[in-house]
Amino acid sequence: MAGVQTAVQLREQGWTGPVLLLGAEPHQPYDRPPLSKAVLLGTAEGSAFDIDFDALGVELELGNPVTGLDTGERVLQTGRGPVPYDALVLATGAEPLTLPGGEGAPGVHLLRTLDDVARLRPVLEERKDVVVVGAGWIGAEFATAAREAGCAVTVVESADRPLPGALPADVAVHMRDWYAQSGARLRTGARVAAVEPGAVVLDDGERVPADAVVVGIGARPATRWLADSGVALCADGSVRGDDRLRTSVPGVYAVGDCVSFPSARYGARLLVHHWDNALQGPVVVAANVVADLCGGGPAEEAVYDPVPYFWSEQFGRFVQYAGHHAGADRMLLRGDPGEPSWSVCWLRGETLTALLAVGRPRDLTQGRRLIQQGAVLDPTLLADASVALKKAVR
């Protein structure tokens, strides 16, 4: 998404020179969210972007992974040889973490690419026993699809609750029952000790039947190929971008899952691994590439400081989140988490900083706008689920 949208935005923002889009995968560029849903379940054959690259004058070079970068000579090293550039946009995304010793093991799967889905489809079609390692967003979405297909599903999570890296304990605890209600088993506080033929062995000795194991324990920016390039990386492996999505090296930019950026809104450096970031970031990075190549000044420079947003469909629920709740000093619940729809609001003072909406899309739409505006709200009205969020503005 990030690479494709950058190419599209370059054209929309007036760049008329050559644009080359390099990709390691051999497939036509595609959207990832449908992979864990319709494509996985076989109700859609693919999710290729409906973009006429020839009409845009964008050259695609697929199945050609990058291997290195010489920033002094402005040359990108690839599997098919060197590629010179005037401006380079890094949009390499993220790569999933694997189980220690589990990479490439028979029956152990990841869910990130179209090829991953092709290998997983037979698991669902044959209704096999599945163990999902990790109760994060990907683990929950795969478990949802597997249960819909009729598989027996056990989800193993080392933390004491689902979504441990994404939501506070007092929010995520309400999502625990979703697994049982769907017919999936959730084992928290457990780690995988070994993967054996037909079973996963947990650290407490339990053997869980498993014809297939799906690993969803997180991802890291796909930046290891940048070692010794001179492009500054952060401790989490992300490219260290500035608020214009420029890197530490002139002429090199970064966008999407591979880059972190400073947010003035939240007073923190953010690394956002979500689809909306890969859609919105290209608008800014393309504007700055065009400004730099065409000699634009500071007035033409675009700053990137979004309200992060993502969604997930799991266990019959539509879950949406906007903002960044770290640094909030108050949390308010709107509605009953035991019901199909409810929301959580995070405040700093009386300013909304983040919102989680379960089955309440109107809350999300209004809340995202209020976060963007930095609106001051009445906490008493905010906590009343019968009051529209926009009506809580002071």
pLDDT in tens, 325-357: 999 999 999 999 999 999 999 999 999 999 999
Give the whole-angstrom CA distance, residue 19 versus residue 56. 9
Range 137-149 burial, b when 16+ CB lie within 10 A, else e: bbbbbbbbbbbbb
* pLDDT at residue 105, as a whole number: 75
Tokens of 246: 């420029």
Return the ∠ at Cα 181 (arms to 179 and 184), rounded to 5°. 40
Q: What is the DSSP letter of 276?
A: H
Backbone dihedral angles phi then psi of residue 304, each to the nearest 5 degrees = -105, 110
Q: Where in the chain is the domain with CATH 3.30.390.30?
A: 316-392
Write out the CATH class of domain 2-94+219-300: alpha beta
In sequence order, what DSSP letters do the residues of 278-329 get, joined into one string? HHHHHHHHHHHHHHHHTT--GGG--------EEEEEETTEEEEEEE--TT--
Give the whole-angstrom CA distance, residue 99 versus residue 105. 10
- Distance linking the first and last C-alpha atoms of the chain: 38
Q: What is the pLDDT along the chain (394 residues), one digit of tens a residue?
A: 999 999 999 999 999 999 999 999 999 999 999 999 999 999 988 899 999 999 999 999 999 999 999 999 999 999 999 999 999 999 999 999 999 866 667 899 999 999 999 999 999 999 999 999 999 999 999 999 999 999 999 999 999 999 998 999 999 999 999 999 999 999 999 999 999 999 999 999 999 999 999 999 999 999 999 999 999 999 999 999 999 999 999 999 999 999 999 999 999 999 999 999 999 999 999 999 999 999 865 556 799 999 999 999 999 999 999 999 999 999 999 999 999 999 999 999 999 999 999 999 999 999 999 999 999 999 999 999 999 999 999 9
Tokens of 23: 């990709």
Q: Is 208 left (phi over 0), alpha (psi -120 to 50) or beta?
A: beta
Architecture of domain 316-392: 2-Layer Sandwich (3.30)
Q: Where in the chain is the domain with CATH 3.50.50.60?
A: 2-94+219-300, 98-215
Model-level pTM? 0.94
CATH code at 98-215 = 3.50.50.60
Rounded to a whole number of angstroms, the CA Rg of the chain reads 22
> What string of H, E and C letters represents the secondary structure of 223-235?
CHHHCCCCCCECC
Neighbours of 154 (CB within 10 A): 22
Give the whole-angstrom CA distance, residue 288 versus residue 386. 44
